[in-house]
């Protein structure tokens, strides 16, 4: 007979992270770039006190457990306070990607039943445009002091965050409830159909945050300085705002300054050791470092995820700047990191080219997540590094359903990711493409990710994107978009020649379109749907 263990059953709650941080690492620093420019500094203890004041203020506005609070905000200290105050008091923190189409913004705010919406001054024009169509929102709170309040026309219930906080008490008793209670909500960026909501539980957030502190993932401790570039408005900044406080690491929040110069400045001034973001930001940072002929003196490790890490970028970061690149994979539906590639002791001894090639793969699943790839019939494919199929995941922080959606997305207990991948004998997973981004040309499958990775290895290429475009003879052909590096020239023939020597003939694009920039969404990913809409007919 199974015997119950005799251990206390304490719930895993977000509020416990904050109070742990305030009590154990009260003097640890949070540094935050304000939306209007200057840098703000305070301690974990001060952050906790202000989060309690916000919790009191939200109750004062009539909100109760279960109420949803939306946010459209940068990575900054007020957003951090909201993360803890809202979830900690049993409400749902609904982070919203400002780059969603206004119609989708209105849809998610209404669908989530947001009763209060927190926003940064940057987004005041956006708010002015949508407020009238969000009748359920009782108060629009600008994350600002009174001196920097923007003018937002046509909103009656506009409040100033600092004015709301100042009369509130910093004593607040965080309620205790079941750890399976909803803590946060994030909608997919849905390029087709309505966005779908992933509703994270306290348990899933806390377990993920503890996991990513591990040495082989973010490697956080009181000695580290973490700069999350990945936005707090999408997938909880990969749970890094929770992880930093669990570990006692100094937390540096970049606000709206996400360009190479802004990031370099913050990294150097605050002695950042670990950072996390999408490849687009690393490209921007590397370009700035190259232009200025400067280096980074303290950054040791970066976690890159959200889209594939190209070989050339991994090589530059490692060889030229001495930074260890760890490549992770996850999605809105997986709370944050689900797989991660960090080199093991044997791999560290390999020649540089082999190490960089390994890093382009998305890695092993972290403890708490299981992965497999399946064929069209749902049968599990061998872990041979070659067999490709749809990636399926399950685990403690993987969605079991979508918010207010009756149909289950699961297939026999696994979540189908829509990504095509292979897994090798060591458990290392490699994403080949999104199902919808794979290109079928002349009966063969071509990976857009593989082509992009080769194209960005050309010294004159800053960014590259590949989409499949309908073709009368070949069914589909790859179409390549290139953004040249500043001051560099590059002709179609040169890049085609470059690709011809590196990929199969069938994969070499016939057409190359040079652009000044690629359409990039709020999460830093290239919006291939926009490219398809504009260029989908070039071969007709």
Three-state DSSP at 290 gives helix
Min CB(10)–ligand AMP separation in Å = 31
Active-site residue identified among 295, 404, 436, 440: 440
DSSP string, 128-171: HHHGGG-TT--EEEESS-GGGPPP-TT-SSEEEHHHHHTTS-S-
Q: Which residues contact 57 (CB under 8 A, 6 or more apart)?
A: 164, 165, 168
Comparing CB distances to ligand AMP, the nearer of 70 and 521 is 521
Q: Which residues contact 276 (CB under 8 A, 6 or more apart)?
A: 218, 226, 227, 228, 229, 230, 237, 238, 240, 302, 303, 304, 305
Q: How far apart are the first and last CA of the chain?
A: 69
Q: Give me the residues paired with residue 225 across strands.
A: 250
Q: Do the strands 389-395 and 369-374 form a parallel or antiparallel pair, or are they unpaired?
A: antiparallel
**Which residue in this structure is represented by tokens 């009966």?**
443
Comparing CB distances to ligand AMP, the nearer of 55 and 185 is 185
Comparing CB distances to ligand AMP, the nearer of 212 and 235 is 235
User: Which structure tokens are listed for 388?
Assistant: 């490709």
Min CB(269)–ligand AMP separation in Å = 29
Q: What is the DSSP-derived secondary structure letter of residue 523?
A: T
Q: Sheet containing 429-434: which strands, arranged edge to edge?
A: 369-374, 389-395, 415-423, 429-434
Min CB(209)–ligand AMP separation in Å = 17
Comparing CB distances to ligand AMP, the nearer of 18 and 391 is 391
Q: Which residues contact 335 (CB under 8 A, 6 or more apart)?
A: 198, 200, 204, 205, 208, 235, 236, 239, 397, 398
Give just the sign of the alpha carbon dihedral 493, 497, 499, 503: positive
Quick check: is 333 catalytic? yes
Min CB(317)–ligand AMP separation in Å = 15
Is residue 127 left, alpha or beta, with left meaning phi > 0 and alpha meaning psi from -120 to 50? Answer: alpha
Min CB(493)–ligand AMP separation in Å = 30
The whole-angstrom separation of Cα 206 and Cα 357 is: 33
Neighbours of 375 (CB within 10 A): 12
Min CB(328)–ligand AMP separation in Å = 6
Active-site residue identified among 188, 334, 360, 417: 188
Comparing CB distances to ligand AMP, the nearer of 285 and 391 is 391
The whole-angstrom separation of Cα 516 and Cα 197 is: 34
DSSP string, 484-509: EPTT----HHHHHHHHHTTS-GGGS-
Min CB(333)–ligand AMP separation in Å = 7
Comparing CB distances to ligand AMP, the nearer of 52 and 326 is 326
Comparing CB distances to ligand AMP, the nearer of 88 and 306 is 306
Quick check: is 295 catalytic? no
Quick check: is 188 catalytic? yes
Min CB(363)–ligand AMP separation in Å = 9
Comparing CB distances to ligand AMP, the nearer of 160 and 343 is 343
Active-site residue identified among 269, 354, 404, 445: 445
What is the Cβ-side half-sphere exposure of residue 366, based on CA atoms within 13 angstroms?
30
Three-state DSSP at 263 gives helix
Q: What is the contact surface with ligand AMP in residues (CB under 6 A)?
A: 188-189, 235, 305-308, 327-332, 362, 417-419, 431, 434, 523
Residues acting as catalytic residues? 188, 333, 440, 445
């Amino acid at each position: 007979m199974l015997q119950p263990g005799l251990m206390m059953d304490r719930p895993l709650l977000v509020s416990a992270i904050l109070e742990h941080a305030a009590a154990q690492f009260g003097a640890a620093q949070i540094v935050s770039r304000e939306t209007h420019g200057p840098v703000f500094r305070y301690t974990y203890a001060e952050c906790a006190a202000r989060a309690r004041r916000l919790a009191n203020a939200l109750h004062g506005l009539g909100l109760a457990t279960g109420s949803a609070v939306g946010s459209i905000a940068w990575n900054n200290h007020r957003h951090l306070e909201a993360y803890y105050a809202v979830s900690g008091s049993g409400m749902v923190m609904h982070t919203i990607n400002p780059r969603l189409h206004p119609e989708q913004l209105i849809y998610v705010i209404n669908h989530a039943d947001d009763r209060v919406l927190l926003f940064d001054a940057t987004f005041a024009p956006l708010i002015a445009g949508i407020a009238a169509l969000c009748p359920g929102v009782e108060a629009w709170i600008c994350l600002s002091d009174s001196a920097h309040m923007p003018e937002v026309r046509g909103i009656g219930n506009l409040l100033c965050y600092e004015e709301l906080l100042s009369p509130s008490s910093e004593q607040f008793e965080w309620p205790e409830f079941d750890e399976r209670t909803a803590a946060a909500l994030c909608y997919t960026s849905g390029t087709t159909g309505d966005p779908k909501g992933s509703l994270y539980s306290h348990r899933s957030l806390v377990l993920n945050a503890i996991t990513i502190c591990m040495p082989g993932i973010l490697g956080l401790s009181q000695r580290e300085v973490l700069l999350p570039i990945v936005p707090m408005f999408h997938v909880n900044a990969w749970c890094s705002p929770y992880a930093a406080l669990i570990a006692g690491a100094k937390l540096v929040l970049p606000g709206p300054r996400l360009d190479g110069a802004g990031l370099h400045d913050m990294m150097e001034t605050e002695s950042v050791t670990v950072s996390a973001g999408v490849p687009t930001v690393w490209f921007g940072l590397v370009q700035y470092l190259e232009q200025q002929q400067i280096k980074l003196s303290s950054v040791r490790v970066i976690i890159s995820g959200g889209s594939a890490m190209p070989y050339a970028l991994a090589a530059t970061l490692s060889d030229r700047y001495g930074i260890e690149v760890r490549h992770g994979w996850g999605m809105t539906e997986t709370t944050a990191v689900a797989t991660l590639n960090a080199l093991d002791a044997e791999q560290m001894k390999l020649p540089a080219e082999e190490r960089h090639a390994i890093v382009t793969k998305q890695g092993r699943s972290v403890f708490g997540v299981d992965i497999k790839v399946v064929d069209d019939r749902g049968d599990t494919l061998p872990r041979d590094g070659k067999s490709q199929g749809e990636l399926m995941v399950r685990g403690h922080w993987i969605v079991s359903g979508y918010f207010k959606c009756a149909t289950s997305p699961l297939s026999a207990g696994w979540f189908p990711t829509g990504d095509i991948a292979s897994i090798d004998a060591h458990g290392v997973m490699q994403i080949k493409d999104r199902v919808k981004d794979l290109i079928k040309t002349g009966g063969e499958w071509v990976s857009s990710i593989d082509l992009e990775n080769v194209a960005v290895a050309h010294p004159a290429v800053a960014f590259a994107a590949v989409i499949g475009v309908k073709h009368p003879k070949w069914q589909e052909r790859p179409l390549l978009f290139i953004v040249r590096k500043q001051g560099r020239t590059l002709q179609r023939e040169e890049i085609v020649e470059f690709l011809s020597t590196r990929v199969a003939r069938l994969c070499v694009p016939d057409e190359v379109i040079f652009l000044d920039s690629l359409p990039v969404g709020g999460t830093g990913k290239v919006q291939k749907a926009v490219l398809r809409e504009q260029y989908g007919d070039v071969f007709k």
